[in-house]
Amino acid sequence: MSEEPLIAVDDLEVHFPGGPRSILRRGSPPPPVRAVDGVSFEIRRGETLGLVGESGCGKSTTGLALLRLVEPTAGSVTFDGRDVRALSRRELRTLRRRVAMIFQDPYASLDPRMTVGDAITEAMVIHDLHGDGKGRRRRAGELLERVGLHPDVAERYPHEFSGGQRQRVGIARALAVEPDFIVCDEPIAALDVSIQASVMNLLAELQADLGLTYLFIAHDLAAVQHVSDRIAVMYLGRIVEQADREQLYRSPGHPYTQALLSAIPVPSPAHERERRRTLLEGDVPSPMDPPSGCRFRTRCPEVFEACGRVDPALQEVAEQHHVACLLHGEVGTEVPRSEHRDAART
Amino acid sequence: MMSEAPVLSVRDLEVSFATKRGVARVVRGVSYEVAAGETLAIVGESGSGKSVSTLALTKLIPIPPGRVTGQALLGDDDLVPLSERQLLEYRGTRVGYVFQDPMTSLNPVHTIGRQLTEHTRYHLGLSESQARERAVELLEQVGIPAAESRLDDHPHQFSGGMRQRVVIAIGLACDPDVLIADEATTALDVTTQAQILDLVRRLQRERGMAVVWITHDLGVVAGIADRVLVMYAGEVVEQAGVDTLFDLPRHPYTVGLLESLPVLGDLERRDLTAIPGLPPPPTHLPEGCAFHPRCAFRHDERCATERPPLTEVAPGHSIRSFYAVPEEAARAASTAARLPEPGSDRTTDPEGRDDARSGRT
Percent of chain B, pLDDT > 70?
93
**Domain annotation covers residue B95:** no
CA A6 to chain B, closest CA, distance in angstroms equals 24
Q: How many CB atoms neighbour CB B173 within 10 A?
A: 24
Whether B3 has a pLDDT exceeding 70, the answer reads: no
Whether B348 has a pLDDT exceeding 50, the answer reads: no
Q: pLDDT tens digits for A240-298? A: 999 999 999 999 999 999 999 999 999 999 988 888 788 888 778 888 889 999 999 99
CA B190, CA A277: separation in Å to the nearest integer?
12
Chain B contact for A198, CB < 8 A?
yes
**Domain annotation covers residue B170:** no
CA A21 to chain B, closest CA, distance in angstroms equals 23
Q: What is the 3-state secondary structure (H, E, C) of chain A?
A: CCCCCCEEEEEEEEEECCCCCECCECCCCCCCEEEEEEEEEEECCCCEEEEECCCCCCHHHHHHHHCCCCCCCEEEEEECCEEHHHCCHHHHHHHHHHEEEECCCHHHHCCCCCCHHHHHHHHHHHCCCCCCHHHHHHHHHHHHHHCCCCHHHHHCCHHHCCHHHHHHHHHHHHHCCCCCEEEEECCCCCCCHHHHHHHHHHHHHHHHHHCCEEEEEECCHHHHHHHCCEEEEEECCEEEEEEEHHHHHHCCCCHHHHHHHHHCCCCCHHHHHHCCCCCCCCCCCCCCCCCCCCCCCCCCCCCCHHHHCCCCCCEEEECCEEECCHHHCCCCCCCCHHHHHHCCCC
pLDDT computed for residue A25 by the predictor: 61
pLDDT computed for residue A53 by the predictor: 92
pLDDT computed for residue B335 by the predictor: 84
Of A198-212, B19-33, B83-97, B263-277, the least confident: B263-277
Whether B333 has a pLDDT exceeding 90, the answer reads: no
Q: pLDDT tens digits for B199-241? A: 899 889 888 899 999 999 999 999 999 999 999 999 999 999 9
Structural contact between residues B94 and B177, judged by C-beta atoms closer than 8 angstroms:
yes
Identify the domain containing residue B315 by its residue range: 232-264+271-355
**Domain annotation covers residue B336:** yes
Of A312-316, B19-23, B149-153, B266-270, the least confident: B266-270
DSSP summary character for residue B257: H
pLDDT computed for residue B357 by the predictor: 33
pLDDT computed for residue A337 by the predictor: 42
Whether A9 has a pLDDT exceeding 50, the answer reads: yes
Residues in chain A closer than 8 A to B230 (CB atoms)? none
pLDDT computed for residue B64 by the predictor: 81
Residue A268 has its nearest CB partner, among B160, B193, B335, at B335
Environment class of residue A342 by beta-carbon count within 10 Å: exposed (0-12), middle (13-18) or buried (19+)? exposed
Label residue A22 by pLDDT band (50, 70, 90): low
C-alpha atoms less than 13 angstroms from C-alpha of B118 in its C-beta half-sphere: 14
Residue A267's closest CA among B43, B227, B218, B245? B218
Label residue A336 by pLDDT band (50, 70, 90): very low
CA B152 to chain A, closest CA, distance in angstroms equals 20
Whether A28 has a pLDDT exceeding 80, the answer reads: no
pLDDT computed for residue A338 by the predictor: 40
**Domain annotation covers residue B282:** yes
Q: pLDDT tens digits for B69-108? A: 999 999 889 999 999 889 988 888 899 999 887 778 899 9
Q: pLDDT tens digits for A190-247? A: 888 888 999 999 999 999 999 999 999 999 999 999 999 999 999 999 999 999 999 9
| For B46, nearest residue in chain A (alpha carbons) | A192
> The CATH number of the domain where B340 resides is what?
3.40.50.300
CB contact under 8 A, B258 and A272: no
Question: What residues have CB less than 8 Å from A156, skipping those under 6 apart?
Answer: A115, A116
Label residue B269 by pLDDT band (50, 70, 90): low
Percent of chain A, pLDDT > 90?
66
CA angle (B248, B252, B256) in 5-degree steps: 85
ipTM above 0.85, yes or no: no
- In DSSP notation, B143-155 reads T-TTHHHHTT--G
CA B358, CA B361: separation in Å to the nearest integer?
8
**Domain annotation covers residue B324:** yes
CA B84 to chain A, closest CA, distance in angstroms equals 34
Residues in chain A closer than 8 A to B267 (CB atoms)? 225, 245-246, 249
pLDDT computed for residue A105 by the predictor: 78
CB contact under 8 A, B191 and A260: yes
Q: pLDDT tens digits for A166-175? A: 999 999 999 9
Label residue B274 by pLDDT band (50, 70, 90): confident
Angstrom distances, CA of residue A163 to CA of A54, A110, B245: 23, 12, 28
Structural contact between residues B112 and B155, judged by C-beta atoms closer than 8 angstroms:
yes
CB contact under 8 A, A249 and B267: yes
Chain B contact for A189, CB < 8 A?
no
Mean residue pLDDT across chain A: 88
pLDDT computed for residue A345 by the predictor: 37
**Domain annotation covers residue B305:** yes
For residues B170-198, give the mean pLDDT.
88
Element (H, E) at B39: strand B39-43
pLDDT computed for residue A7 by the predictor: 95
CB contact under 8 A, A250 and B348: yes
CA A33 to chain B, closest CA, distance in angstroms equals 17
pLDDT computed for residue A329 by the predictor: 67
CA A305, CA A303: separation in Å to the nearest integer?
7
pLDDT computed for residue B145 by the predictor: 85
| For B349, nearest residue in chain A (alpha carbons) | A251
**Domain annotation covers residue B20:** no
Q: pLDDT tens digits for B195-209? A: 889 889 988 988 889
**Domain annotation covers residue B310:** yes
Whether B347 has a pLDDT exceeding 50, the answer reads: no
Residue A192 has its nearest CB partner, among B45, B191, B335, at B45
The residue ranking higher by pLDDT, A158 or B3, is A158
pTM of the model: 0.87
The residue ranking higher by pLDDT, A133 or A211, is A211
For residues A314-321, give the mean pLDDT.
92
Residue B8's closest CA among B240, B177, B206? B177
The residue ranking higher by pLDDT, A111 or A330, is A111
Label residue B174 by pLDDT band (50, 70, 90): confident
Q: How many CB atoms neighbour CB B346 within 10 A?
A: 18
pLDDT computed for residue A346 by the predictor: 34
Residue A267 has its nearest CB partner, among B261, B269, B278, at B261
Chain B contact for A333, CB < 8 A?
no
Whether B19 has a pLDDT exceeding 70, the answer reads: yes
Number of domains in chain B: 1
pLDDT computed for residue B211 by the predictor: 96
For residues B176-192, give the mean pLDDT.
89
Structural contact between residues B200 and B188, judged by C-beta atoms closer than 8 angstroms:
no
CA A57, CA B141: separation in Å to the nearest integer?
30
Whether B350 has a pLDDT exceeding 70, the answer reads: no
Chain B contact for A264, CB < 8 A?
yes
pLDDT computed for residue B344 by the predictor: 56
CA A325, CA A312: separation in Å to the nearest integer?
5
Label residue B49 by pLDDT band (50, 70, 90): very high
